[in-house]
Chain A
Amino acid sequence: MIFKTFALLAFEFFKTGLFAIGGGLATVPFLREIAAKYTWFTTDMLSDMIAVSESTPGAIGINMATYAGFSAGFGDGGLAAGILGGIIATLSLAAPSIIIILMLSGAYQKFKSNPLVANAFYAIRPAVTGMIAAVAVTLIESALLTSDFTFAWSELLKLINIKAVILFALLAAATNIKPLKKLHPIVFIVFAGICGAVFNM
């Protein structure tokens, strides 16, 4: 039975990797479908899986695949099957990307100095920068605003997470002044995590 689960996991996550275009959250509709189709995990568990995947290191889509694969394997054959299930689901999700990008990467290296391709990328690059700036806005929002806020003018100050704003300003300065800005981003991430724990952010 467990091998059937593994085969189905590989199939479903390969399919997800092949058809989910865009960021990791593009895989959520596919995971919903999987939750409805199999007994691996429920829709309630899925919201937990999304929350954990967003809060742990790594790309969200990858994390969700490991989590879903673990749940499927674990339910069928215990811990070892869970571990294997997580690995199978994750590799299956990544496989279509790897295949497609390997095919495209040669073409990109070959044609990137072609005038037509260069003209297209001349305009694509600022467009991508704009998109990333939009993502930055949502990340700033989630970092600096309190999440459990119901709107009221008198409570407006509570909307802003003061501790987070101070840390944000401190880091913004530190990452842009001379000796400190050379530090690895990991240093700032770890420092911010420690601050979060110490100051109850």
Chain B
Amino acid sequence: MKKLWELFIIFAKIGAFTFGGGYAMLSLLQKEIVDNHKWATEEELLDYYAIAQCTPGIIAVNTATFVGAKQKGIPGGIFATLGLLFPSIVIITIIAAFITHFLEYTIVRHILGGIRAAVAVLIINSVITMGKKSVVDIICLLIAIASFLLSLIFSASPILIVVAAAALGLILRHGGAKK
């Protein structure tokens, strides 16, 4: 029970400070889930993101369920996800009910302007950390560059990229699995 509560609290903390969508929460996940609690490795986090991309639903929810389930099975997955949802429900309900002109306040726009700069820095750092773990050879580097260009310039579907990469991995490393 203590572990379930901990999952709820940690994911509520992550949810409360995620600005800019599921990808932007990466730096918080790395700090809390990988560094502080060691509930997953960097590689596992990348795998969760890959699977979350290709399965229905919100990426952040999928990732939370994954981390929670690894720790405490079904209840773990549910508590982690409820934790992630909790701040959203509270904050959005308050705004929808009482602060209908939320975005018209200049102070809100200024604060968000500052936060966007931090989010940009944090995601760059996350990409560098992830790159060190995932780009282990020249083939990986080429895959990473191709995927970057495909998503940025051609807005290619993430599912397509993940499936194509999986196929490449299977073909290129056929027979010679290195753990």
Contact = CB atoms under 8 A, between A and B. Distances in A.
Interface residues of B, number: 111
Contacts of B7: none
Given A57-B16, A124-B169, A129-B130, A101 B122 contact: no
Interface in B20-68: 20-28, 31, 43, 46-47, 49-62, 65-66
A19 B169 CA distance: 28
A96 B61 CA distance: 10
Contacts of B179: 113, 118
Contact of B57 (A96, A115, A133): A96
Interface SS of B by simple majority: helix
Contacts of B1: none
A185 B17 contact: yes
Nearest to B174: A119
A132 B119 contact: no
Contact of A108 (B28, B47, B146): B47
Nearest to B36: A184
Contact of A57 (B17, B56, B126): B17
Interface string A166-184: 0110011001100000001
A74 interface: yes
A143 B57 contact: no
B124 A140 contact: yes
Interface residues of A, number: 103
Contact of A134 (B16, B17, B152, B164): B152
Interface in B106-151: 106-108, 110-127, 130-131, 133-136, 139-141, 143-151
Given A98-B81, A104-B55, A23 B169 contact: no
Contacts of A192: 114-115, 117-118
A51 interface: yes
Contacts of A27: 58
Given A19-B56, A104-B51, A188-B122, A82 B152 contact: no
Contacts of B93: 66, 70, 82-83, 86
A8 interface: no
Interface string A21-55: 11111010000000000000000000010011111
B97 A185 contact: no
A4 interface: no
Nearest to B107: A197
Interface in A155-201: 161, 163-164, 167-168, 171-172, 175-176, 184-186, 188-189, 191-197, 199-201
Interface string B140-179: 1101111111111000011101101110111011100111
Given A62-B84, A90-B89, 9 more contacts: A22-B157, A52-B103, A55-B103, A61-B58, A102-B69, A116-B177, A129-B130, A185-B27, A192-B115
Interface of B: 13, 15-28, 31, 43, 46-47, 49-62, 65-66, 69-70, 74, 77-78, 81, 84-85, 87-89, 91-93, 95-97, 102-103, 106-108, 110-127, 130-131, 133-136, 139-141, 143-152, 157-159, 161-162, 164-166, 168-170, 172-174, 177-179
Q: Sorted from nearest, which 9 A-B pairs have the closest CB atoms?
A: A196-B114, A123-B169, A97-B57, A130-B147, A192-B118, A58-B88, A115-B177, A201-B113, A127-B165
